[in-house]
Structures are given as structure tokens and as C-alpha cells.
Amino acid sequence: MSPQKSGLTKEDLKSFKEEIIHQFHVVSEGVIDQVKLVAEGVATVNEKLETTRKELKEEIDNKTQPIAQAVLALSGKLVALDGKVTDLDGKVVALDGRVVALDSKVVALDGKVDRIHQELKIEIQETRQEVLAAVKFSYAELDKRLTTLEKEFVELKLRVEKIESRSIS
């Protein structure tokens, strides 16, 4: 296509080209300004981050120093406790021997207690049987007396009724 067919001249194209270049410069200046602002923001954030990092490091150092001192103090106490535990271990071994001796005595006593328990159980059973027999006898005796008293009461009631009927007549 020739420039004359489309209706554009070389000057029109040159003018159009210059306009595009001008617009490109305007847009690129805006982009460059925005990139500079972003770079400044990044620099500010970096400074704040570095300041915060230093503050945190200082705070951590301040707080870990007492902890380190406490750990050292606890290490000394741990050594002392270790010595005491060793002493206690020796005492435990000695006590274990005594416990074994006591255990055999307890087993012997346990046998005696079981035997006495069995004897008492038998004696209690025999005594229980005797008490039950005495209660049965007492019950039978009481039942007999109660029956006699009931008969006598009925007889007395009849006699009172006879006497009352005589007095009324």
C-alpha cells in the first residue's frame, strides 16, 4: 500500500510518530517516578526492619543473660543434688536388705494370723450355734409363757364379765 491510497502523508506519519514518542516519554516519566517512590518505600522499610532487628537482638540479649546466670546456678545445685542422690541410693540398698528380712517375718506372722483367724472363726461359729440354740430355747419358753398368759387373760376376762353381769342384775 502506498501512502497515498490510505490518505496519510509522510508528514502525518512523522507527526503521529512524534506524538507516540511524546506519550511514551510522559508514561515512562510517570513509571520512573513510581519506581522511585517504591524504591524509597523499600529503603524506609529496610531501615525500620534493621532498627527493629537491633532492638529485638538487644531485648533478647537482656533477657537471656539472667537465664544464663540461672542455668549456671542450677548446674551447681544439680551437682549437689547428684551427690545427695548417690548417698540416698546407698541407703536404699541397705533398706532393701532390711525389707527382705522383714518380708520373711511378715510371711511367718501372716501364717500365724491365718491360723488364729481360722481358730477364731471356728470358735465364733460354735458360739453362734450355742447362742442360736439358747435363743430358740428362750423363744420357745417365751412362747409357752405367752400362750399361758393369753389363756389366763381370757379366763380373767370371762370372770370379770361374769362378775359384772352379776352386779348389774
CA distances from 97 to 21, 86, 90, 169 (A): 105, 17, 11, 103
Cell representation of residue 74? 542450677
Share of the chain above pLDDT 70, in %: 96
pLDDT at position 76 over 70: yes
pLDDT score recorded for residue 67: 86
Is 14 in a helix, a strand, or coil? helix
pLDDT score recorded for residue 20: 92
pLDDT score recorded for residue 165: 87
How far the first Cα of the chain sits from its last, in Å, is 169
Q: What is the mean pLDDT of the chain?
A: 88
pLDDT score recorded for residue 48: 92
Question: pLDDT grade, residue 154 (50/70/90)?
Answer: very high
pLDDT score recorded for residue 6: 61
Q: Is 81 exposed, middle or buried (0-12, 13-18, 19+ CB in 10 A)?
A: exposed
pTM: 0.33
From 3, 29, 5, select the one nearest 16 (Cα to Cα): 3
Q: What is the C-alpha separation between 155 and 162, in angstroms, rounded?
A: 11
For the stretch 1-45, pLDDT in tens is 444 456 788 898 889 889 999 998 888 888 998 998 988 989 899
